[in-house]
A and B are shown apart, each in its own frame.
Chain A
Amino acid sequence: MSMIAAFVMATFTTPENIGVTPQSMLWLLPLVAAISVVYKTTKLPKIRFAHLLKESIILFGSIVVFMAITALVLVAFAWLVTE
């Protein structure tokens, strides 16, 4: 038991090894999922699993698409400025 506790404690006292790579941007996806679920939970008067899931997926998709469009606009703008 103490070994397991020590292992769990150790995972929370040393940071993970995440490099500054394009793949590290994928860490935004779980965060967007959490934001979608919590926001929709506060908006729905009655929680039904299927309904909450559907609403959360729609919001998740909207946020991701909007962020992708924003990123593309910023990349285009940076390209125009630096070209």
Chain B
Amino acid sequence: MAPRSREGHIMFLLIVGLMGWFVPGGGHLALNEKKHAIVIFAAIALTFATGLYIGSIGIINPVGAKPWYIAQLMNSPAVAFLGQLTRTGDYPVYGRPGEIGQIYTSIAGLLNLLCIVNAVYWAHLRGTGAAGE
């Protein structure tokens, strides 16, 4: 593979990062790491869905729980759509289900952030020829 220019390399890192954000595991898929992508997608999607199941979509609260919402947003931009649905306050959730649901969905988002950083790092190593493969 021909080496990329500096701009091309930065653009590639940006695309890998964005793909990882749009769909969990997408960044690894862009690097042709299909097994990594499948495991990451399954684990993060299941954790996020479990959180939504426990606490309902009301746990995505861009008004009253902004720090949690930012972590939840790391799962995918689609979370912003759910945030628009719940912004009206039509899905109230309190107590332990709310806590557990928020923790599950936010941890899923932070795990996806870890995977995005990991995918971008691998892409950088491959771009600079530093990956030991």
Which A residues lie at the B interface, using CB under 8 A?
11-20, 24, 27, 30-31, 34-35, 37-39, 41-42, 47, 52
Q: How far is the CA of A24 from the CA of B43 in the complex (A)?
A: 21
Whole-angstrom distance between the Cβ of A56 and the nearest chain B Cβ: 10
- Residue in B55, B95, B96 with the greatest tally of chain A CB atoms within 10 Å: B96
A interface, over-half SS: helix
Q: A15-B101, A52-B39 are in contact. Are A42 and B57 (CB under 8 A)?
A: no
Whole-angstrom distance between the Cβ of A7 and the nearest chain B Cβ: 13
Q: A12-B53, A13-B56, A31-B104 are in contact. Are A38 and B96 (CB under 8 A)?
A: no
Q: How far is the CA of A27 from the CA of B35 in the complex (A)?
A: 27
Instruction: List residues of B (82-133) whose CB comes within 8 Å of A's CBs.
Output: 91, 93, 95-98, 100-101, 103-104, 107-108, 111, 114-115, 118
Task: State whether B96 touches A20 (Cβ < 8 A).
Answer: yes
Task: State whether B104 touches A42 (Cβ < 8 A).
Answer: no
Q: A17-B97, A24-B100 are in contact. Are A30 and B50 (CB under 8 A)?
A: yes
Whether B40 is near chain A, meaning CB under 8 Å from some CB there, is yes
Task: State whether A15 touches B56 (Cβ < 8 A).
Answer: yes
Looking across the interface, which residue of chain B has its beta carbon closest to that of A42? B118
Whether B46 is near chain A, meaning CB under 8 Å from some CB there, is yes
Task: State whether B57 touches A24 (Cβ < 8 A).
Answer: no
Q: How far is the CA of A11 from the CA of B49 in the complex (A)?
A: 11
Whole-angstrom distance between the Cβ of A80 and the nearest chain B Cβ: 28
Q: List 26 A-B contacts (CB under 8 A).
A: A12-B53, A15-B56, A15-B58, A15-B98, A16-B55, A18-B97, A19-B96, A27-B54, A27-B100, A31-B103, A31-B104, A34-B43, A34-B44, A34-B47, A34-B108, A34-B111, A37-B39, A38-B39, A38-B43, A38-B114, A41-B40, A42-B40, A42-B114, A42-B118, A47-B39, A52-B39
